[in-house]
Amino acid sequence: MTGFLRFAGVVEANEDEAMSNRPMMPLTLSAYTLVTANGRGLGAVSQALRERRSGLKPCDFEDALLKTYIGRVAGLEDFSLGADLEQFECRNNRLAWLGLQQDGFMVAVAEAIQRYGADRIAVVMGTSTSGILETEHAYRNRDPLTGALPSWYTSRYRYTHNMFSLGHFVRACLGLQGPAMVISTACSSSAKVFATAARFLQAGLCDAAIVGGVDSLCHTTLHGFSALQLLSTSPCRPCDEDRDGLSLGEAAGYALLESSERGGRKGAVALLGYGESTDGYHMSHPHPEGAGAIRAIRQSLDRAGLQPSDIDYINLHGTATRANDSVEDKAVYSIFGDGPACSSTKGWTGHALGAAGITEALIATLCLKQGFIPGTLNCERIDPTLRSRILRENEDRPIRRVVSNIFGFGGNNCSLVLGVL
């Protein structure tokens, strides 16, 4: 796999601190696509947002007998990958394939190949669990005498559960030969792909980049979050006074990033800035004062060359856990006060974990293109201790600058600024 960068992690660099003080060159989202529990493609997702129709339903994933709600993408069990991609067969890659088929995305990539060449387009993907469901199934089918894993699994591990499977798969589907990387930093994985792609482009490693993320439901996350007592028994209620936990979901999303000098056009949506931090406060609990979140948000604004007052809307991480929503509100209010409208969209999609970053960045992109701000679905009474300007109901009005926050386990934080050129 020539050009495949076999590492994942966070760039913690002094150069990043220095560079964050200089506005970056905007990167145009020339094409993009999204699949969530709300539907396949941007049209379906947009319609669900406007109709306030949630994709969350009582848990019916395999034999997971949990009293919770999930955002399951319908139909993933009904097809298999073709013979050419058989080695990649797993739920996560089926979801990845389904995402690639929407909104003419593969056609847009083919046209980009004509412009730049297959070896000049990078692939930067995010996932938290990759194809771990295949390993779960394999352990259930061990040899009862020897404990050996089935042969079908051991021959396919590198193409399924291996964390780099997703990048390899997307690269193969799109016929790309440029550098590739998979980032796995929990919830922030597919937000950090934008930052990494921006660095690739700035360093001259590529002329364009496919960024995205895919995470699919599995028993490890469902039972793991249940053990942490973080799952709600009802559809999640971000920012609600009585919120009691999250709802897990799955999603696949992609965007083609190009320099605004090459792919920019008036009215296009672009990445204007990004900020990253790793505060390492606790494995699963955010820093109580939101220190890492504040740092990431400020970096993103600095890179965009914007002031807090320039932001029209903030798509919150908003997981609907007691701690997350409270801490994020502290961070947001400390920078923006009660100025920009804020909402969480996880009531529609559930928490897609490693795919949450791309999911919410693309929802923010839809908002910018359509002049629309989704409210916070399922929030009936806003927690009176939260001080940011949280929306319950949808609003139709033009917006030009949006911040999208994603904060992951271990203090892996990322904030993106998107705007209309």
Hey, which residues are catalytic here?
187, 317, 351
Q: How many helices (H) and strands (E) does the chain have?
A: 14, 17
Q: Which residues contact 347 (CB under 8 A, 6 or more apart)?
A: 54, 56, 235, 236, 237, 238, 320, 376, 377, 378, 379
Burial code (b: 16+ CB inside 10 Å, e: under 16) for 64-100 equals eebebbbbbbeebeeeebeeebebbbbbbbbbbbbbb
What are the phi and psi torsion angles at 365 (to 5°)? -65, -45
What are the phi and psi torsion angles at 280 (to 5°)? 60, 30
Contact assessment for residue 190 and residue 356, using Cβ atoms and an 8 Å cutoff: yes
Contact assessment for residue 293 and residue 407, using Cβ atoms and an 8 Å cutoff: yes
Largest CA distance in the chain: 66
Alpha carbons 133 and 86: distance in angstroms, whole number: 16
Burial code (b: 16+ CB inside 10 Å, e: under 16) for 348-385 equals bbbbbbbbbbbbbbbbbbbbbbeebbbbbbbbeebbee
Give the pairing type, strands 372-373 and 395-396: antiparallel
Q: Is 323 buried (19+), middle (13-18) or exposed (0-12) by CB count in 10 A?
A: middle
60 C-beta neighbours (distance < 10 Å), count: 9
Alpha carbons 207 and 67: distance in angstroms, whole number: 47
Contact assessment for residue 180 and residue 123, using Cβ atoms and an 8 Å cutoff: yes
CA 5 to chain centre: 21
CA angle at 388 for the pair 384 and 394, rounded to the nearest 5°: 95
Alpha carbons 182 and 145: distance in angstroms, whole number: 37
Helix, coil or strand: residue 112: helix
State both tokens at 276.
């990253």
